[in-house]
Amino acid sequence: MTTLLTTHDVARIVATHGLPRMFSRLVDYLEADFARWNDFDKTARTAAHSDVGVIELMPVADDREYSFKFVNGHPGNYRHGLSTVMAFGALADVETGMPTVLSELTMTTAIRTAATSIMAAKRLARKDSKVMALIGNGAQSEFQALAFHHMLGIAEVRLYDVDPAATDKLAANLAGAAPELRVVRAADTAAAVRGADIVTTVTADKKNATILTAGMVEPGMHINAVGGDCPGKTELDPAILTAPNTRTYVEFEPQSRIEGELQHMAADFQVTEFWRVVAGEARGRTGNDEVTIFDSVGFALEDYSALRLVRDLASELKLGSKTDIVPVMADPKDLFGHLVGTQARDVTQGQRILDAVATAAAVAS
Ligand SMILES: NC(=O)c1ccc[n+]([C@@H]2O[C@H](COP(=O)([O-])OP(=O)(O)OC[C@H]3O[C@@H](n4cnc5c(N)ncnc54)[C@H](O)[C@@H]3O)[C@@H](O)[C@H]2O)c1
């Protein structure tokens, strides 16, 4: 049987452990998986684009476990009362192909994206960073703010969104979740970014936007560019990447060349795959004046790590239900017999329920 983890199960895991501990545990899982990067069979995700959004499949596997995530990106979804990003995914046993876990991944993606940002910023941001500008105050933003506050000691966040209601929501949620975190509302992106140690851009728009211009970037900043994550959707002025004393880090280079800020760059533009830093093969920040960019698009290995974590925590807490998403058969060659037997059992059970309802109705009258 496959373990089914719903949004309620994941919410209970978070309620039990708290978000700070979830971030910390997930950074451990991510670092362990990124450190053994070459163990994984990796591929850029496949994307089905439409005029209004994208639906993507993100697979990855090592020799023991396979995972995939289904995820969409529809910036106009709020008009339908739906989130921009929604996701679910699975873990399977490589030995047999049996799906072991089927899980929600919308909330989990927000946690994993923030944890991935932390894994990068631990090695790329200045150690004395205290102030973060947060541009784009939608669904991902609380997770980014809280992860940087709890894991990296960010004491002040400066918020800006073109939608003031999104900033109201973020400020109210942060006041409840972390009252000690100083929250400043900025008049525009330039005001939010001025003097910040870290700039996180997490905006959603299906176009090449210039959220951050080269003139806003100051020596020593770390830029955590999260929102630009598909062809035609970027957030940074390309001049930021090519500026002197600036280095760009990516997740999986073949995917980032298609989807990241790298879309604007020539094919020979030098970047560092971040796993090399985790594995000790490449350097992170080398000086206090350097500008570092984490050009995040979201890679399947991060979901593999996140799925493993929610699976392990659900098991500890005895959460989740067993479901026969694939048939469980006495004779694995008798699929037809199983189908007919299941039909017969369901009909019998259905009849029993109808009989019980009829009996109850008769007693009541
Ligand atoms: N890199 C990753 O791993 C990863 C993971 C999850 C989401 N994302 C991407 O992050 C982005 C944000 O996701 P979300 O779930 O928070 O979306 P969301 O729609 O909930 O929030 C996005 C916010 O950006 C704001 N915005 C749009 N244009 C802006 C601008 N020019 N200046 C300031 N704010 C602006 C919108 O008003 C909105 O409030 C999406 O593009 C999504 O695809 C990336």
Query: What confidence score (pLDDT) does residue 355 get?
Result: 75
Residue nearest to atom 37 of ligand 1 (CA): 163
Q: Is the same domain home to 156 and 272?
A: yes
Q: How many angstroms separate the CA atoms of 144 and 109, rounded? A: 12
Mean pLDDT of the 18-42 span = 98
Task: Ligand 1, residue 209: give the atom nearest the CA.
Answer: 31
Of 149, 164, 156, nearest to 183 by C-alpha is 156
User: Does residue 336 fall inside a structural domain?
Assistant: no
- pLDDT, tens only, 321-353: 999 999 988 899 999 999 988 777 776 666 676
Over residues 275-286, the pLDDT tens digits come to 999 999 999 999
Same domain, 56 and 193: no
Q: How far is CA 249 from the centre of its chain?
A: 17
Do residue 262 and residue 165 come from a single domain?
A: yes
Q: What is the rounded average pLDDT of the residues 108-137?
A: 98
Q: Which residue's CA is minimally distant from atom 21 of ligand 1?
A: 138
Q: 207 and 285 share a domain?
A: yes
**Angle at the Cα of 362 from the Cα atoms of 358 and 365, rounded to 5 degrees:** 140
- Do the domain assignments include residue 24? yes
- pLDDT tens by residue, 198-212: 999 999 876 788 999
Q: Is residue 115 part of a domain?
A: no
Q: Read off the pLDDT of each residue in 198-227 and give the average, rounded to a whole number.
A: 93
How far is 145 from 147, CA to CA, in rounded Å? 6
Q: Which atom of ligand 1 is nearest to the CA of 230?
A: 43
The dihedral built from the CA positions of residue 259, 260, 263 and 265, taken in this order, carries a sign that is: negative
CA-nearest residue, atom 42 of ligand 1: 227
Residue 96: phi and psi, rounded to 5, are: -120, -15
235-239 own/partner pairs: CB under 8 Å, 24+ apart: 235/201, 235/203, 235/209, 235/210, 235/211, 235/261, 236/201, 236/210, 236/211, 236/212, 236/261, 236/293, 237/210, 237/212, 237/213, 238/264, 238/265, 239/213, 239/214
Q: What is the CATH number of the domain that holds 80?
A: 3.30.1780.10
Q: Residue 35: is its pLDDT beyond 80?
A: yes
Last-in-domain residue among 296, 315, 344: 296
Task: Specify whether 68 is located in the same domain as 208.
Answer: no
Q: What is the spatial distance between Cα 37 and Cα 356, in angstroms, rounded to a whole number?
A: 57
Pair 157, 282 in one domain: yes
The reply to whether 271 and 315 lie within a common domain is no
Q: Which residues neighbour 319 within 8 Å (Cβ) at sequence distance 6 or greater?
A: 5, 9, 12, 13, 313
* Overall pTM surpassing 0.85 (yes/no): yes
Nearest to 172 by CA among 159, 162, 191: 159
Q: What is the pLDDT of residue 347?
A: 65
Q: How many helices (H) and strands (E) does the chain have?
A: 11, 18
Q: What CA–CA distance (Å, rounded) separates 242 from 173?
A: 37
Counting ligand 1 atoms within 8 A of each CB, the residue from 84, 235, 293 with the most, and so the one to mutate, is 84
Same domain, residue pair 84 and 156: no
Q: Are residues 26 and 174 in the same domain?
A: no
pLDDT in tens, 232-286: 889 999 999 999 999 999 999 999 999 999 999 999 999 999 999 999 999 999 9
CA 117–ligand 1 middle distance (angstroms): 15
* Proportion of the chain above pLDDT 90, given as a percent: 89
Owner of token pair 């090519």? 242
Q: Based on the residue annotation, tell me whether 229 is a catalytic residue of this protein.
A: yes
Structural domain of residue 239, as residue ranges? 131-296
Name 276's bridge partners: none
364 within a domain of the structure (yes/no):
no
CA of 227 to the centre of ligand 1 (A): 5
**In a domain? residue 361:** no
One domain, residues 270 and 213: yes
What CATH number has the domain bearing residue 174? 3.40.50.720
Catalytic residue among 33, 161, 229, 303: 229
Q: What share of the chain is helix, strand, coil (3-state, %, to 5)?
A: 45, 25, 35
Which pLDDT value is given to residue 230? Answer: 87
Indicate the number of domains in the chain: 2
Which residues form the pocket of ligand 1, taking CB atoms under 6 Å from any ligand atom? 73, 75, 84-85, 109, 113, 135-141, 160-163, 166, 202-205, 209, 211, 226-227, 229, 296-298
Ligand 1 centroid–CA 286 distance in Å is 30
**Helical ranges in the chain per DSSP H:** 7-17, 19-35, 106-124, 141-152, 164-177, 189-193, 238-242, 253-259, 275-278, 300-317, 335-364
Please check whether residue 358 lies inside any domain of the structure. Answer: no
C-alpha 75 – ligand 1 centre gap (Å): 7
Tell me: do 256 and 214 sit in the same domain.
Answer: yes
Mean pLDDT of the chain: 95
* Same-domain check for residues 71 and 193: no
86 in any annotated domain: yes
Contact at 8 Å (CB) between 264 and 237? no
User: To the nearest whole percent, how much of the chain has pLDDT over 70?
Assistant: 97
Query: 165 lies in a domain?
Result: yes
